Chain A
Amino acid sequence: MVLLYEHTRLLQSTHHSGVHAGFSPDSCMVTPVNGQHGTRVVPVLCRYLILLLAVVFWQPTYSWAQSYDTINVSNPFLHKTPVAVTEFKALTGKQAEKDIGENARQILNEGLVFTGYLKLVNPDAFLANPAQTGIQLGQVNFRDWTGIGAELLITGGVETEPGQVKLKLRLFDTFNTKLLKGKIYTGPPDQIRRMIHLFCAEVSYALTGKWGVFNSKLCFVSVVNGNKEIFISDFDGHNPRQVTHHKSISLSPAWSSDGQWLAYVSYARGKPDIYIKHLAENRGTVINREGMNISPVWMPGQQKLAAALSFSGNQQIYLLTRNGEIIKKVTNSWGINVSPRFSPDGKKIAFVSNRSGTPQIYIKDLGTGETGRVTFQGRYNTSPAWSPDGKKMAYVGIEKNKIDIYVINLDSGPGMPVQLTRDQKDNEDPSWSPDGNLIVFTSNREANTPALYVMTAAGTDQRRLMHMKGRQTQPGWSGPMVHAD
């Protein structure tokens, strides 16, 4: 039942995607193969659950001498699940099908590795070639795959018609000899990337119960001709698109929950003001009260924002409507109050304040009005980023002049921070993927130039997201998007 509902959701997502990203409704056929899509396979899921529980309940033991823990060794990002992705079968034997299949397999491989919890089995080790012997259940000899350590197997088939490509993709659990997911995608050849990512989302859901990163997008700042402008891109940095042309300083982009709006800061009128912009339609608002209007963020599931405004003479955080009207003043302390971030349930706001003398992260409960301090180590802790499950907070700390990303548990009292980046120059601006598995951030580790990087939530697999001109900073990961682009 659940899976059927999710199917409907995915279908909707492709319908809504329209011109930019999707298939036309008629050409989009997402159908289960062999009717076995509902099958759940206990060992793989159990294993994953155990690993997740291990992460959640793992209690670090520290000595006072070490102020930050290293990477948790029992996390799913160090014990990745091996998956074998076979050559795609050319279903009518055409060369075009082989070429498309190879391209699609490459995109699939990158997508699977991107999750952070899957690793590819080296094709050189393969004992069988389903592209010749058959890609369906009953044609696959699972012992060929368990024998080389592949716990999961993905087969693919390609069929081309004029202007259309049909991709048949199957995910198998090799140890339990089960088909976990079977999908057929049909669309124009330029949508192969999108089709593969839809399947990746299915794989993600089959394994973790979450749709993963594949329906999400990034926003970020990049320098164009010496000016900072706002960009958006796919989750993996592909298809970057410039969304502002202020030829000024534009900063701090933030997605609305539905992915249709961006809020950001720009000096287009000579001082920092907040711009609220609908991405598809030409409408929006500017919040340009006296003083600065900075660090906007959207309330989850609401058309409301929080931001830091200084019109009163003090820098305070306010709750605002989408039109910039003040609903409520959130902070009331002396000094700096900036960078509000809502908890995933929208009931709390984390923010940065120097009320204690140095910048530290605090959480205010909007219901009770109580404020608690989160960070106690170090003299400079900023950029709070709440994990999607609300249990952890990533942030930026400066220790001995080194700027790095840390994560701290919120549900088990004031915990010890875990350092995620280390000895790789400056690392800033953490933002979580919607499934909570990944963190995108800014680093100047290559050529001393800020660019966007991704790592797992445990700090492993740090890699550069994309290579584009200019300097990229302040990435923001959207939620899972129903309305793509």
Chain B
Amino acid sequence: MNKKLWINVVMAVFVAGLFLTASCAKKTVVSDASTIEDQAGAEAAAQAAAEAEAQRKAEAERIRQQELEAQKTSEQALEQARQQAAKIRFLHKNIHFAFDSSELSSEAKDLLKQKAQWLKQNPNVSVTIQGHCDERGTIEYNLALGERRANAVENYLQDLGIGAFRLDTVSYGEERPLDPGQTEAAYAKNRRAQFVLK
């Protein structure tokens, strides 16, 4: 008995279920048309979206490119500035000497190593090394002393591997002081070897 009742209940649920299913199925048929219509819209939307996406991507790419470009430019500018600074340092940092001496101090040698580095990085550059003296002492002796200073610098650069054909010397003795003052500081500034591009 109990078993019969259980079966009836199940059956009843099943039938009810069928009913439900049938109604659902009917609905589905109705809803099919609308789905088709929606599909077209979605496709259009998708296309639009894809286009938008593509556009966005292109824009992003463009911006990225631009940024890259900008970065490259700024890097170039930076590099240029760096090179310019190196060049200025090369041209304006003079080699200094003691009174009546053409001997290179350890500071002078360090500076010349930097200058040699720069000359190696700029292999197309040739330079004239000017030798200068302070105003004390005689004009003729100072011409000779200035030449020895320029020669000392030239020889050291050659020892560091800079080709002799890129280097040239001229002595100005006491004729071209940087500082016309008559102080020890001015004299020290004027006792120098100075680089000029050819």
A-B pairs with CB below 8 Å: how many?
Answer: 74
Q: Measured between alpha carbons, how far is A292 from B139 in the docked complex, in Å?
A: 13
Q: Mark B142-178, 1 if CB is under 8 A from A, else 0.
A: 0111011001000000000000000000111001000
Residue of B140, B145, B151, B175 near A295 (CB, 8 A) is B140
Contact of A380 among B137, B171, B175, B182 (CB under 8 A): B137
A358-B170 contact, Cβ under 8 Å, with A339-B140, A380-B137, A401-B136: no
- Select A339's contact among B141, B145, B147, B172, beta carbons within 8 Å: B141
B150 CB to closest chain A CB (Å) equals 10
Known: A249-B175, A271-B170. A382 touches B144 (CB 8 A): no
Using Cβ atoms and an 8 Å threshold, which residues of chain B touch A271?
170
Q: Which of A229-253 contact B (CB under 8 A)?
A: 249, 251-252
What separation, in Å, do the CA atoms of A219 and B164 have in the docked complex? Answer: 40
Looking at the complex, which one of B137, B139, B151 makes contact with A398 (CB distance below 8 Å)?
Answer: B137
- CB-CB under 8 A from B148, the residues of chain A are 315, 336
B164 shortest CB reach to chain A, Å: 12
Return chain A residues, CB-CB under 8 Å to B170.
270-272
20 contacts between A and B (CB under 8 A): A251-B139, A252-B139, A270-B170, A271-B170, A291-B147, A294-B144, A295-B140, A336-B144, A337-B144, A338-B141, A352-B141, A358-B100, A359-B100, A359-B141, A382-B138, A382-B140, A396-B138, A401-B136, A428-B138, A473-B139
Chain A residues within 8 Å of B141, by CB: 336, 338-339, 352, 359, 382
How many residues of chain B get a CB closer than 8 Å to chain A's CBs? 18
Determine if A408 is an interface residue (Cβ-Cβ < 8 Å): no
| B102 CB → nearest A CB, Å | 9
**What is the interface of chain B, defined by CB distance below 8 A to chain A?**
100, 136-141, 143-145, 147-148, 151, 170-172, 175, 182
The CA-CA distance from A358 to B99 in the complex, in Å, is 11
Chain A residues, CB < 8 A from B175: 228, 249, 251
Q: Is the CB of B140 within 8 A of A292?
A: no
CB pair A294–B136 under 8 Å, yes or no, is no
- The minimal Cβ–Cβ distance linking A281 to chain B, given in whole angstroms, is 28
Q: A473 to B140, alpha carbons, bound, how many Å?
A: 12
Partner among A252, A315, A474 whose Cβ is within 8 Å of the Cβ of B144:
A315
> With A249-B175, A270-B170, A271-B170 known to touch, is A308 a contact of B140 (CB < 8 Å)?
yes
Asked if A403 is an interface residue, CB under 8 A from chain B, the answer is yes
Tell me whether B137 and A382 are in contact (CB under 8 A): yes
Q: How large is the interface on A (under 10, 10 to 19, 20 to 34, 35 or more residues)?
A: 35 or more
Q: Are B100 and A429 in contact (CB under 8 A)?
A: no
Tell whether A222 is near chain B: CB-to-CB under 8 Å: no
CA distance A256 to B172 in the complex (A): 26
Q: B-facing mask of A330-344, CB < 8 A → 1, else 0?
A: 000000111100000
In contact, A338 and B140 (Cβ under 8 angstroms): yes
Closest to A473 in B: B139
A155 at the interface (CB under 8 A from B): no
Chain A residues with Cβ below 8 Å from B151 are 313
Within 8 A of B (CB), among A369-416: 379-380, 382-383, 396, 398, 401, 403
The verdict on A460 contacting chain B, using a C-beta distance below 8 Å, is no
Closest A residue by C-beta to B145: A336
Q: Which residues of B contact A272 (CB under 8 A)?
A: 143, 170-171
Whether a CB of chain B sits under 8 angstroms from the CB of A310 is: yes
B133 to chain A, nearest CB (A): 12
Contact A338–B136 (Cβ < 8 Å):
no
In the complex, A473→B142 CA distance in Å?
A: 15
Taking CB atoms, residues of chain A closer than 8 Å to B139 are 251-252, 429, 473-474
- Out of A270, A401, A429, A448, which one reaches B138, CB within 8 Å? A429
Could you say which residues of chain B place their CB within 8 Å of the CB of A383?
138, 140
